[in-house]
Amino acid sequence: MSGTASIQNGRKGGRPKYSAKFEIPGINLVILTETQYNSLLEKYGYDLLKKALLILESWLESSPVGEKYIGKNNYGHFRSDGWVINTAKFKN
């Protein structure tokens, strides 16, 4: 396996590395790729996704537990049965 393939596919052909962070206006700590953002936008709609992003951003800033997720891809937090989406659904 060439060095380039290892870099593109993670260590020894494992999970692919995420591409560069997609810039989301007003959101600094939540990291998603453009593909992930577009997928969430299609799944949840703009208003619900914006609420969820702000909730997760606030949690990352204020929670000691959230600090370990800063600098990492946060796509996993947006499960349809997860706390971020459920909080956004019921927040006015």
- Provide the pLDDT for residue 35: 92
- Provide the pLDDT for residue 15: 57
> What is the pTM assigned to this prediction?
0.76
The residue to which tokens 């969430």 are assigned = 40
User: Strands, E, within the chain: which ranges?
Assistant: none
11-47: pLDDT as tens digits: 555 555 555 667 888 899 999 999 999 999 999 999 9
Residues in the chain: 92
> In the chain, where are the structural domains located?
18-90
**What's at 87, amino acid-wise?**
T
- Provide the pLDDT for residue 1: 45
CA atoms within 13 A on the CB side of 36: 19
DSSP result, 10-72: SGGG-SPPP-SPPPBTTBSS-B--HHHHHHHHHHH-HHHHHHHHHHHHHHHHH-TTGGGGTTS
Q: How far apart are CA 29 and CA 70, in angstroms?
A: 6
